[in-house]
Structure 1
Amino acid sequence: MLEERCKQKNTSNSNFQFPPFLQAGDKVAIVSPSGKIDTQFVEGAKQRLESWGLKVITGKHVCDSSGLYAGTIKHRLKDLQRAMDHLEVKAIFCSRGGYGAVHLIDKLDFTAFRKHPKWLIGYSDVTTLHNLFQKNGYASLHSPMAYHLTMESEDDPCIMYLKDILSGNPPTYTCEKHELNKQGHAQGVLRGGNMSVICGLRGTPYDIAAEGTVLFIEDVNEEPQAIERMMYNLKLGGVLEKLSGLIIGQFTKYEEDGSLGKDLYAALADLVKEYNYPVCFNFPVGHVTHNLPLINGARVEFTVGEKEVELKFNLNR
């Protein structure tokens, strides 16, 4: 018990463990911890992963349905726990986001996982699980999911980046400048994901540590006032002042209704203008086709320059 408590205490620092990278012939699992999904998307993802030389197993309840969820809490929990415990599985692909991972967060056991760690892959509602994995000291992958492996073409750049990262070859990302960017250079640990999920876990044991963090945020179907309110939560809660850098990604499926007196990015820029660290806007992460895979828990170099933004992963632990 003492050893387990010590492990729990150590998870707020930046020494995240990387699961082994994948090789041909490795096993991966597809599970559905959140929303329900049609069988065709799971089968399509399985075919894509097999084309990469991987062996795929699927959760028993991966295509179950219980309301909007992929089965009952018990069934979703059982599938994810089995994948985490599996001796040979090297990566866990979430089938899709939606809602429901919060039902599982305090019920998962990392005892077997610690002996055989594996990559967790997904975004959106899967941010809940990314926070859980960080609490337990493990890096994970905020990236396109099984659904996208079916929907996107074989040469889709984000799917190819995902494949490269899983093989141990992370790319260096560059993207265009934005007029609201704050120039600068920072080093830190990359953490983040869906803003609503992050704020929903504020004040819990699964909150993100702010000190030394390069934070990335994105969201979908949230009105400008709701997004600004969540940003104020981070500001008034002392999170923003402790960051090393801030990556503001894609906020989609909302209307600029004039409620803020300015557009959303401009409102967020006002909230962070007092800080000295670099900030970039319109980074390609979120509920969009061009959704760059990001390693939660990786040390990064983040540079916001006059002409472009660069994000470089440092895997030398």
Structure 2
Amino acid sequence: MENLIFPPFLHEGDKVIIVSPSSKIDKSFLKGARQRLESWGLKVVMGKHAASSYASYAGSISQRVDDLQQAMDDEEAKAILCSRGGYGAVHLVDKLNFTGFARHPKWLIGFSDITALHNLFQKNGFASLHAPMARHLTVEPDDDFCTQRLKDILFGNFRTADAEGGYRCPAHKLNHKGTAEGILRGGNMAVFHGLRGTPYDIPAEGTILFIEDVGERPHTVERMMYNLKLGGVLERLSGLIIGQFTEYEENKSLGKELYGALADVVKEYDYPVCFNFPVGHTNMNVPLINGAVVRLEVGSKEVKLEYGE
């Protein structure tokens, strides 16, 4: 396994830049995210086009590229919060330069459509943070678990946030029991499926893959899973975390529920598989470090995901 570079963790007074690389966003969520981050003692700067609108996007391609590139190149910034997902990050993937970023790495934060940027950052050797974005930071209370874990990770306290520095969730009847170590990678299934066969594809070897999605019909999800199977990805994984699939109709068009259909696709593999992990388009969307070495332990009563050294 090739370890990815962790950007420096944050301290009070550090600079965070909010950008909108994908769809346009309600300005109230930008305001709320700023207030939340400032309550942590951080200095927050808004990208020039963070609140812009161009069709369904937060600005034209060139505007969104400029905002993200300037944030990446900023020598003082320690984190970049993507305001929301939606669609549009793929427009930026082949247009960003990592020369300045490599001299001053910083945490990229976001999920959903931001998966495309996570893949890009990992391709360039840097870990990033799959985590809630502006809406969550605005509408959830101060003591929200995921918000607090995001803060813990950004400030480098994630190893002491609980006994293992990771997460636990109840066992699921479809789980494959076992233990594995690997590099945690993944995100929105449709988004990284769109990068299959490109230089920005997720490498399978040594990977513990996590997947989630929203609004995709069951047969579409199954088709994407078969792509991973037939492409040789599933057989080379070290472990698989199946998160939340939301906002779809469970009509049993596959002859069974979605999780059951996915279980059939992966039943031949002997690595640990976890179903119903708390990651996805839900309030309980735990922050995960894309590119971190982790240990996945799927037991008869619970699942543990712990960060390695």
**Which of the five TM-score ranges fits, normalised by the shorter chain?**
over 0.9
Within the candidate set 208, 212, 216, 1:218 is matched to 212
The alignment status of 1:160 with 2:148, answered yes or no, reads yes
How many Å separate the matches in 2 of 1:118 and 1:272? Answer: 36
Give the structure 1 partner of residue 74 of structure 2: 86
Q: Deviations over 1:199-239 (max 9, x none)?
A: 10000000000001000000000000000000000000000
State percent identity of aligned pairs: 69
Tell me, yes or no, if structure 1 residue 272 matches structure 2 residue 260.
no
* Secondary structure at the counterpart of residue 80 of structure 1: helix
Q: What whole-Å deviation, never above 9, does each CA across 1:125-144 have from its counterpart, x for those lacking one?
A: 00000000000000000000
Is 2:276 the counterpart of 1:301? Answer: no
Q: Is the 8 A contact 2:252 2:258 kept in 1?
A: no
Distance 2:146 2:75 in 1: 29
Matches within 5 A, 1:1-20: 14-20=2-8
Alpha-carbon distance in 2 for matches of 1:252, 1:258: 15
**Corresponding residue for 2:56?**
68
Alpha-carbon displacement from aligned partner over 1:2-39 (angstroms, at most 9, x marks no partner)? xxxxxxxxxxx522000000000100000000010111
Which residue pairs with 2:161 in the alignment? none
What secondary structure, in the 3-state scheme, does the structure 2 residue paired with 1:112 have? helix
1:39-118, aligned counterparts within 5 Å?
A: 39-118=27-106
Letter in 2 for 1:90: K
Which of 126, 132, 139 is the equivalent residue of 1:138? 126
Could you list the per-position Cα deviations for residues 109-151 of structure 1 after superposition, in whole angstroms to 9, with x for gaps in the alignment? 0000000000000000000000000000000000001221111
TM-score normalised by the chain length of structure 1: 0.95
2:272 matches 1:284? no
Where does residue 260 of structure 1 map in the other structure? 254
Measure, in 1, the Cα distance between the counterparts of 2:80 and 2:208. Answer: 25
Mean CA deviation greater in 294-303 or 37-46 = 37-46
Name the amino acid aligned to 1:35. S
For residue 14 of structure 1, give the secondary structure of its aligned residue in structure 2: coil
Kept after mapping to 2: 8 A contact 1:178/1:280: yes
Work out whether residues 3 and 293 of structure 2, in 8 Å CA contact, stay in contact via their aligned partners in 1: no
Partner SS, residue 93 of structure 2? coil
Residue 141 of structure 1: SS of its match in structure 2? strand
Q: Are the counterparts in 2 of residues 191 and 213 from structure 1 also a CA contact under 8 Å?
A: yes
Report the 3-state secondary structure (helix = DSSP H, G, I; strand = E; otherwise coil) of the residue aligned with 1:29: strand
Using the size of structure 2 for normalisation, the TM-score is: 0.97
Superposition CA RMSD, Å: 0.7
Contact 1:14 1:297 in 2 (8 A): no
Secondary structure of the equivalent of 1:181? coil
Q: Determine if contact 2:212/2:280 at 8 Å carries over to the other structure.
A: yes
Q: Work out the number of aligned pairs and report it.
A: 303
- How far apart, in 2, do the equivalents of 1:39 and 1:61 lie? 11
1:207 equivalenced with 2:201 (yes/no): yes
Letter in 1 for 2:206: G
Q: CA deviation at 1:247?
A: 0.1
Spell out structure 1 runs of 4+ moving beyond 6 A. none
Equivalent-residue separation in structure 2 for 1:309 and 1:15 (angstroms): 24
Question: What's the offset of the Cα at 1:172?
Answer: 1.5
Q: Counterpart in 1 of 2:162?
A: none
Counterpart Cα distance in 2 of 1:61 and 1:252: 30
- 1:184-203 map, 5 Å: 184-203=178-197
Determine the C-alpha separation between the residues in 1 that align with 2:117 and 2:299. Answer: 33
Q: Does residue 148 in structure 1 map to residue 140 in structure 2?
A: no
Q: Give the secondary-structure state (helix, strand or coil) at the position aligned to 1:218.
A: strand
CA contact (8 A) 2:121 2:127 kept: yes
Gaps of 5+ in 1: 1-12
Structure 1 residues 50-84: Cα deviation after superposition (integer angstroms, max 9, x where no partner): 11000000100000001110010011110000000
Which SS does the other structure have where 1:20 is aligned? coil
